[in-house]
Amino acid sequence: MLLALFLLLITRNVASEPYGYDEADYMYAASLGFAANWADVRSIPAADFMRAGLRRAGRQSLSQTIRTGNDVLFYRHFHGPIFYYLLIPAIPLHRSEHAVRTALLAIPCASLAVVYFGCLWLAPGAAAFPTALMASMLFLSSYSVIESTELAPHALFALCSLASLILLLKAIASGGRRYWYGAVLAAAVAFCTLEVALVLLVTLAICGWVERRRWQADWRFVANSFAVFLATILVLWPAALLRLSFLKACAVLAYLAVSREFAGGSASFLETWRSRMDHSPLEWVLILAAGIVLFRTRSRRLLPLALFAALMVLATLPVVTITPRYSLVFMPALDLLAGLALVPSIGPLRRPASLAVVLAGAGLYGCAWYQAALRPHNPNPRSAAVLTYIHQNELENKAVLAPQADLPTLHYYFPGMRLRAYFGREPSIAERAEFEAVATIPAAKP
């Protein structure tokens, strides 16, 4: 029933438009195949990458320098390869953008199952089902989830981090080491998905230190934990360690944080957070209420969730954009926290309490449906317009000057085209002189 409600809601937001900037690069990376992504073939050495970054004026210059080298790590935008392994089977569907995006909805569906069954596993006695219902409704109606139907690894990171955190909570509650090792393994998969997994690793390290006496942690326990983590990475993404690919990803993340250059948009900090709260007001009210309950009860069993969410929010503060998917790194954990904290706190689950859970779930779903109805059918008309422009002017195999933002789309759909990017509202005299183009694609109007 919950899965049907979720699909009814989220499939309304699946677009059919051509792939834009990120999606086109991701699909191209997947088209290079499993071996290329597993070993990061043609990726420039870490030392050369650092020198190029220090020598160039900025991210755009470095992008122009290495885009022509078929660097698969660059086309993944320096993320780990796990999401791209899942994209590879969808390559035969690449000309049906709607079908590819729909197929990848299996990831948030799996996350919903993890939240539901994880709550049944963790919550005590009679509170288990209402807790699972509340947390699941928070997740499936979250603006960050239902609006993130584009191709991106953030939803997969949410799945891995949820699995790791639920196993961590079970390890703390039961003292079972096998759950701890499961949490470490899931964190390693998250590490191979998105570079912000560093926050998850810090959370595990802090919780492991706090619980070291209960678990009777000795050098062998620590060694086994590292062995599980490193072995998982060497199986899934050996280039992360052997070619220092993860170091390059961290360098890019640090550069973006310091320089404040972010490709997701130009929103201010206040606009970013106002958008997040305006689109999911009831969700945020319930999360705030859960925070108050957690503060008053000082329950240790949920502190790992609160710690992870707080650290992730702090780590992503420089990411100022109204694009919903960037909230996926912390919102599912906050939804899980709200479900686990609120339902057991309302006392014996007789009829009034059960009715409150049902009404809250209905309110969450109603708000989400209203937001989905307001969403424009084609939120990014630029990609379709650019493809139409190319076809109408018969530029499929010509030399073309194009805005930097259009380069991935053109590169993916027209592999025979010779491309050079320009970065302003129109090409400079120097850019025109350096590249003899047949045509120039006009930049998007502000």
Residue type, 299: S
pLDDT by 10s per residue, the chain, length 446 = 888 888 888 888 888 888 888 899 999 999 888 999 998 887 776 666 666 655 554 555 555 666 666 788 888 988 999 999 999 988 877 678 889 999 999 999 999 999 999 999 988 777 788 889 989 999 998 989 998 889 999 999 999 999 999 999 999 988 888 999 999 999 999 999 998 999 999 999 999 998 888 888 788 989 999 999 999 999 999 988 888 888 877 777 776 666 555 545 567 788 888 888 888 888 898 999 888 888 887 777 888 999 999 999 998 888 888 888 899 999 999 999 998 988 877 655 555 656 777 788 788 878 888 777 776 665 678 888 888 888 888 888 888 888 888 888 888 888 888 888 887 777 877 777 778 777 888 877 64
Alpha helices in 141-218 (DSSP H): 143-146, 154-174, 177-191, 197-210
Taken as a whole, the chain contains a residue count of 446
Taking 3-state DSSP, the helix, strand and coil percentages for the chain, each rounded to the nearest 5, stand at 70, 5, 25
Write the CA distances from 404 to 64, 411, 441, 442, 443, integer angstroms: 9, 11, 10, 11, 9
Question: What are the sequence ranges of the domains in the chain?
Answer: 108-374, 382-446
Residue 49's closest CA among 13, 73, 20, 81?
A: 73
